[in-house]
Structure 1
Amino acid sequence: MKEHTNLFTGNIPFNYDALLGPFLFAPHAAALVNKLPLNAVSSILELACGTGILTTRLSNHFANSAGIVATDYSDSMLQQAKLKLLNSRNVRLQTADAHQLPFADNSFELVVCQFGIMFFADQPAACREIYRVLSPDGSFIFNTWNSMADNPATKLVNDAITGYFGADAPHFFETPHGMNNAASIIRLLSGAGFANITHEVVEITVENVAASTIARGFVTGTPMFGELVRLDPSSPEKIIAIAEEKLAVAYGGSHVPVTTSALFFSAHKNIIGQ
C-alpha cells in the first residue's frame, strides 16, 4: 500500500467520516450501489472500506442475500467503521492488504472498492489478487476520482495549501486524483485478466455545503494533516481559513454547491473455458 494509507491515525478517521463523508463520499457510495449487478450475489468483498461509508449501504442493499467482508489496511479506519456497523449482521470487518489478500481463490462473487485503488502501491499486483479471489463470472466494481480540475472544491483547497507553502507544499491530492485516465485503467484491468470492461463518468452536485466544512474536512480528514503539521504546526488552521475564503469568493457565499467527478468501472472475470 502507498504510504498515505498508513497515516489515517488520531482524529483523521473521525474527521474524514464526519466532515468529508456527507458531501464527498456518501453520494458516490449511493451511486455505486445503484449500479451494482441486478443478479443476486451471496458473497461480497469490499477493499479499502475506510470508515464504512459504502459498507453501510452494501449491508442494507444486500441485507437478506449476501455476506460482506469489508477490509482495509488501516486499523484506525476500521475502528471508525466498526462504530457504525454494530447492528449490521451481514458484515465482517477485517484488516487486509490488497496486494496479498488472505482469501482462497474464487471466494467472492463481487469485489467492490470505493476510491481506494489509487492508493495501492502496486496496482497490477492488486488487480491480479482481486481477479484471483473472484469466482468465475464474478465482477469487480470500483470508482476513482477524476482530475482535480474536474473537482473544483478540492482544487481550491489544494490551491490554498500550495499558496501557503509554495514549493514545499505537500502533494497528497495528486494520489487520489492521479488515476483518472480511463484508457490506462482499462489496460491495467485487461492485464490482470479482466474482460467486459465498461466505464463512465459520474458527476454529483451536493448543494449548500458549508465552506468551513469543506476546508476543515480536506485539511484535517486526510493524511495530509500530518504533513502540514510537520511542515508548520500552526498551518492547518491558517490554511483552513484561506481555503474557506477561496471557496466563499469562488461561489459567492459561505454555503456552496460541491460538484464532484469520478470514474466508475465494471470488470468481469470470465467463466473458465469461455
Structure 2
Amino acid sequence: MTNNQTAPSPAEVYEAFFVPALFGQWGERVAAEAEIGPGQRVLDVACGTGALARAAAERVGPNGSVVGLDPNPDMLAVARRKRPAIEWRDGRAEALPFPDRSFDAVVSQFGFMFFEDKPGALREMMRVLRPGGRLAVAVCDTLDHSPGYNALASLLQRLFGREVADAFRAPFMLGDPAQLLALADEAGIEGAEARQRDGTVRFASIDAMISTERACIYTLGGLLDDAQFEVLLREAKQKLQPFTDEGGKVIFSMPALILTAAKTDV
C-alpha cells in the first residue's frame, strides 16, 4: 500500500463485504414485512450503510421518502455516497428526533440487538408511526441455527477464551421469539408477532470471512492482535471446511427473526 492510500474504514468494509454476504438479502424482505408501498414515508432505524433504506426507497418510489438514522457518522458517510437522495440523519433509536406520527412505516435490521434500552427504542419507533403504520424489526436468530458462525464461536473460545467468544456471540443474543415478544409487551405494543425467516451467509472464501470479521467493530474488531488473527485464520481453514463448496466459497444458513406490529391507535 502506498503512502497515498489508506486502509478502508470499518463502515466501508461493512458495505463492501458484510452487506453482500449477509445483510443485502434482508432489505427487501424486511420492507415487505412492513408492507411498504408507493408514496409512503419510511424511517430506517440504525440504518448502517443503508441496505434496508435503499430497499425501502425502491418501494416508495418518487412520490415517497425514506429517512435513514444511525449514531455512527462513518456508516452515514458511506450511506450518503451510495444513495444521496435519501435523507440521512444522526441519532439514536432511544430518542428519535422526529415528531409523533411522522412515518407510515418504521423498520430496522440487525441493530436492535445492540440498543441500550430496547423497550424504550420500541416505544420511540411506535411513537413516530402514524395510525395504521407498521413496524418491522429484524434480529439474528440463535447461534445454534447458524452452523458456520456457531463453529467459529467454538473455535474462538478454544483459542482465546470465553470473553472473545462471547463478544462474537453478542449479535445472536435476541434469537428467541418469546424474548422479542416480551420486549414488545414491555414497550406497550399490542398484537406484535415474531416470525423466523430463512437466510444464507455467503463469503468468497474462509480467508474473506475471517478478514471481514476482523474489520467488524461490533464483534472481533479490536479484540485480537495480528498474531492472534494469523492463528485464527490457520485454524479456521480446518474448522470451517465443512461449510465450503467445491470452489472454496463459504455458505451456511443464518436465519433471522422479524418482529412486526401495526399501530392501531387513532
Alignment TM-score, normalising by the size of structure 1: 0.85
Aligned residue type for 2:240: L
Post-superposition CA distance 1:177-224 (Å, at most 9, x none): 000121121122123232232222111235674222222222223433
Aligned to 1:268: 262
The answer to whether residue 239 in structure 2 is matched with residue 242 in structure 1 is no
Shift of 1:59: 1.5
| Partner residue, 1:138 | 133
User: 1:189 is matched by which residue type in structure 2?
Assistant: A
Aligned to 1:259: 253
Structure 2: state its 5+ residue gaps: 1-6
Q: Which amino acid aligns with 2:89?
A: Q
Distance 1:207 1:250, change over 3 A: closer
From 50, 53, 71, give the equivalent of 1:52. 50
Counterpart of 1:76? 74
**Number of residues of Structure 1 aligned to a counterpart in Structure 2:** 259
Does 2:15 match 1:21? no
Cα deviation, 1:209-259, whole Å, max 9, x if unaligned, reads: 422222222222343344324xx3432343233223321245465223221
Amino acid paired to 2:14? Y
Q: Is the 8 A contact 2:200 2:253 kept in 1?
A: yes
Q: 1:84 to 1:244 in 2, by over 3 A?
A: farther
Q: Map 1:1-274 onto structure 2 (within 5 A).
A: 11-37=9-35, 40=38, 42-86=40-84, 89=85, 91-205=86-200, 209-229=204-224, 232-251=225-244, 253=246, 254-272=248-266
CA separation of 1:73/1:219 partners in 2, compared to 1, >3 Å: closer, same or farther? same
Deviation at 1:17, TM superposition (A): 1.6
C-alpha spacing 1:271/1:155, structure 2 compared with 1 (3 Å): same
The unaligned stretches of length 5 or more in structure 1 are 1-8
Q: Distance in 2 between matches of 1:150 and 1:248?
A: 18
Residue 4 (structure 2) aligns with: none
Greater RCO, CA 8 A, separation 6+: 1
The answer to which of 33-42 and 44-53 deviates more is: 33-42
How far the C-alpha of 1:145 sits from its partner, in A, is: 0.3
Mean CA deviation greater in 191-200 or 120-129: 191-200
Paired with 1:211 and 1:82, the residues of 2 have a C-alpha distance of: 30
Partner Cα separation in structure 1 for residue 172 and residue 220 of structure 2: 17
Query: How far off its partner does 1:10 sit?
Result: 6.7
Using the aligned pairs only, state the percent identity.
25
RMSD (CA atoms): 2.3
